[in-house]
Amino acid sequence: MDKHTPQRVERDNAKFEEWRKQNPTKQFKDYFAEGVKPMIARGKMHASLGGNLIEGNHGDVGQGFLRTLIANGLKPDDACIDYGCGTLRLGVHVMKYLRPGAYWGMDVAEFLLEEGRALIGEDVLTDQRPNLRVISPEAVAEAAALKPAMVFSAKVLLHVHPDELGEYLQNIMTMIGTHGQAIIISKWNNGETLQYGGKGWAHGLPVMRDIVAAWGGQIVVLKEEAYRLEGFDTSVKHGTLHLAHQASPFAEERD
């Protein structure tokens, strides 16, 4: 259950607007990163970032997600992009499954990648040779040149500001091109976008489909269930979305 309320969202948005006045050249993703950095540094418990996870230990949790990727076609020799890799909670399992050097992790700030490196340890870094990049147009182009078989993005979409949704989906479509597929695990809404937290949105599926269609792609819902937003007395969807270019063989399989 989410403990947010419309009143809390309004207060959080006011804080962001004040921050934006002081940082006019930065984006919400920078605001998000600045907010989690001190939390990680203090070792505060977090659902998905850092070494003090709310549920499970770093290095143990996330194996079930790897099985989801394998079930959707990920193979050991594939190049795979973890878009929004955080501190490698999921990435450590994926890189161990793939051949050395085939895993690419991307996120909005270098300190997240550094924390991930520290958590997985030198042995894994040496053996698996993960490629870790701060998200940028250059990094997206570099990843796209690999022609990755799969891009995945877990619990990232819900933290993407509506103003940056187009960039997020465009980057994913650029990386998969006409040859790959993308798996997104998140919340969404079948109607309009609903903001349920200062840093949380259930984006409207129709809006996302329009953005992806503009890049020649399609979105298919692979799995969904109702997710109750307690403070808002409503439900949204939580589950798995599949993205592919309409010319991709993966799109044909999902029709």
Q: pLDDT digits over 100-115, tens only? A: 999 999 999 999 999 9
Mean pLDDT of 42-47: 63
Cα(38)–Cα(40) distance, integer angstroms: 5
The answer to whether the CB of 89 falls within 8 A of the CB of 72 is no
**For domain 6-254, is the CATH number 3.40.50.720?**
no
Domain locations along the chain: 6-254
List, in sequence order, every residue forming a beta bridge with 216; answer none if it has no partner.
none
Average pLDDT rounded to a whole number, residues 72-91: 95
Q: What's the rounded Cα separation, in Å, for the pair 150 and 77? A: 11
Q: What are φ and ψ of residue 241, in 5° steps?
A: -110, 145
Given a cut of 70, is residue 1 above it in pLDDT?
no
Q: What does pTM read for this prediction?
A: 0.93
Question: What is the DSSP-derived secondary structure letter of residue 190?
Answer: S
For 192-246, how does the pLDDT look when each residue is reduced to its tens digit (9 = 90+)? 999 999 999 999 999 999 999 999 999 999 999 999 998 888 999 999 999 999 9
Helix H segments across 6-53? Answer: 6-22, 28-41
Taking each helix axis as running N to C, give the angle between helix 28-41 and helix 6-22, from 0 to 180 degrees, rounded to the nearest 10: 100
Q: What is the pLDDT of residue 227?
A: 95
Check pLDDT > 50 for residue 169: yes
Over residues 12-30, mean pLDDT: 96
DSSP 212: H
Q: Give the helix, strand, coil percentages of the chain, each rounded to 5.
A: 45, 25, 30
Torsion, CA 34, CA 159, CA 1, CA 183, rounded to 10? -130
d(CA 28, CA 238): 23
Q: CB under 8 Å to 131, separation ≥6 — which residues?
A: 101, 103, 104, 105
Question: Is the pLDDT at 59 greater than 60, yes or no?
Answer: no
Tokens linked to 23: 């940082």
pLDDT at 94 over 90: yes
The percentage of residues in the chain with a pLDDT greater than 90, rounded to a whole number, is 78
Q: H/E element holding 203?
A: strand 200-204
Mean pLDDT of 107-130: 95
- b/e 14-42 (16+ beta carbons within 10 angstroms → b): eebeeeeeeeeeeebbebbbeebeeebee
Q: pLDDT tens digits, residue range 132-163?
A: 999 999 999 999 999 999 999 999 999 999 99
- Across residues 113-125, what is the average pLDDT? 94
